[in-house]
Amino acid sequence: MTDKIDMFAFLSRGIGRRQFLQGAGALGVAAATGLQSERAYAQEKTLNLLSWPGHADPAVVKPFEDKYGVKVVAKEYVGGENMLALVNQSPPGTYDVVLSDAEYVVMLRDGGFIEEMNPADYALDTFFPEFQKFPGHWLDDKLYSLIIRFGYLGIAYRTDALTAEDVASYKILWDEKIKGGVGFFDWYLPSMGCLSCYNGNKSPFDIDAAAFEKLKETVFSLKPQTSAFYSMADTFASLTNGSAKAIPGVGDWITLLLAKDGVPVDATVPAEGGIQWTESMSIMAASEKKDLAKAFIQYMTSAEGQMASALMPAYNASIPSKAGWEKLNADAPAEAKRLRMTFTERNVMDEYKDGKIHIRKTPVQQDIDTWNEVWTEFKSL
């Protein structure tokens, strides 16, 4: 595995030097133990998945497990850098499929961790045209990842504290009436991306040194307004108990489930624009179960798998498959309406076409460390 890594290409795509070096040492150990580990995994009736929380929930994967007589076992992470570290530090063959945020696919490809996929193996023609050749998944005109689900990031807020008019602009984050009530999901990329939109950057992650310095000032200026920095679970809890009145850099993936349970919350993309998060699946190059991995991704991109993914108990999402939308509207019309994936009313695809949504990326003109260091300093102020 180690001979596949082009260090210069890997670093040039934005991963910080320190993160790479931290993972590189573990690869030497992996080389010594990899063969034994791979044989062990090959004998198990499991599909090993590396993913954000919730993707191996029986509500999502049970039909696949029943069909193939296997168990989907997930190692869960939060944040792209955490995912990269796990990939770097795990023996080859540990994972069969990785679910990653779209912006990290190029790093996985450049590191030799994922393999090229045959587009003919997947029902891409059932996807909305916007997602059939999604940027960052096709590299050098070759397919390396399949989009599974997506959503928009702007501001999540308590509707008993703020109105829709209040959150029409990110400017509300500095308002005295929510001082001490602005929370943050503790990951630099979505929060800083949304604040970069507020600063008027047309490409929020591709900014020059002057614009980055302004972004740093914008971020730091919110410290007096800040309640806390939250883990994934605590983000849900803070909006539920009201300790956070507004959280930039998150969206419907938080509020849809909470609102369903009666919590007075909503999410919006302010006038300055928002960020699209995109989760996608790739086949790990060192997997010994590539046929099973392919079958799993085929299931997850089928109408049945897409509906299950949209309704995933951990956090809901929009789905790229028109066939999935059709099944959702036929089998669960109330859920289709709640998720704004109907064909007769304004829906999430209309928002996509409005031009306010920017695809989330890793930093372009700075490296990941530089943005992360700003975030770490912000938390320590």
Q: Which pLDDT value is given to residue 351? A: 81
pLDDT in tens, 36-95: 444 444 446 999 999 999 999 999 999 999 999 999 999 999 999 999 999 999 999 999
Q: Is the pLDDT of residue 297 over 70?
A: yes
Q: Which one, of 378, 364, 373, lies nearest residue 103 by Cα? A: 364
Q: What angle do the packed helices 290-300 and 58-68 form, to 10 degrees?
A: 130
CA distance 371 to 249: 15
CA distance 41 to 342: 42
Neighbour tally for 380: CB within 10 Å? 7
User: Residue 22 — pLDDT band, cuts 50, 70, 90?
Assistant: very low
Residue 214 vs residues 176, 192, 198, 206, 369: alpha-carbon distances, Å: 22, 11, 11, 13, 18
**Alpha-carbon dihedral 298, 299, 303, 306, rounded to 10 degrees:** -100
Q: Which pLDDT value is given to residue 44? A: 66
Q: What angle do CA 220, 221, 225 make, to 5 degrees?
A: 105
Q: Which pLDDT value is given to residue 353? A: 86
Q: What angle do CA 109, 113, 115 make, to 5 degrees?
A: 65
Q: Which pLDDT value is given to residue 211? A: 98
* C-alpha count within 13 angstroms, C-beta hemisphere, residue 163: 2
Assign domain 2-149+278-337 to its CATH architecture.
3-Layer(aba) Sandwich (3.40)
Contact 81, 252 (CB under 8 A): no
Q: Which pLDDT value is given to residue 28? A: 40
Asked: is 151-275+357-380 a CATH 3.30.2230.10 domain? The reply is no
Could you tell me where in the chain the CATH 3.40.190.10 domains are found? 2-149+278-337, 151-275+357-380
Q: Which two tokens stand for residue 121?
A: 């193996």
Q: What is the mean pLDDT of residues 21-27?
A: 39
Residues ≥6 apart with Cβ < 8 Å to 358: 193, 197, 203, 204, 205, 273, 274, 275, 276
Q: Is the pLDDT of residue 187 over 70?
A: yes
pLDDT in tens, 195-213: 999 999 999 999 999 999 9
Q: Is the pLDDT of residue 4 over 50?
A: no
Q: Which one, of 123, 83, 78, 131, lies nearest residue 107 by Cα? A: 83
pLDDT in tens, 216-265: 999 999 999 999 999 999 999 999 999 999 999 999 999 999 999 999 99
Q: Which pLDDT value is given to residue 14? A: 39
**Alpha-carbon dihedral 28, 34, 35, 39, rounded to 10 degrees:** 180
Contact 253, 188 (CB under 8 A): no
Q: Is the pLDDT of residue 21 over 80?
A: no
Say what percent of the chain tops pLDDT 90: 86
**Least-confidence region, from 19-33, 82-96, 150-164, 176-190:** 19-33
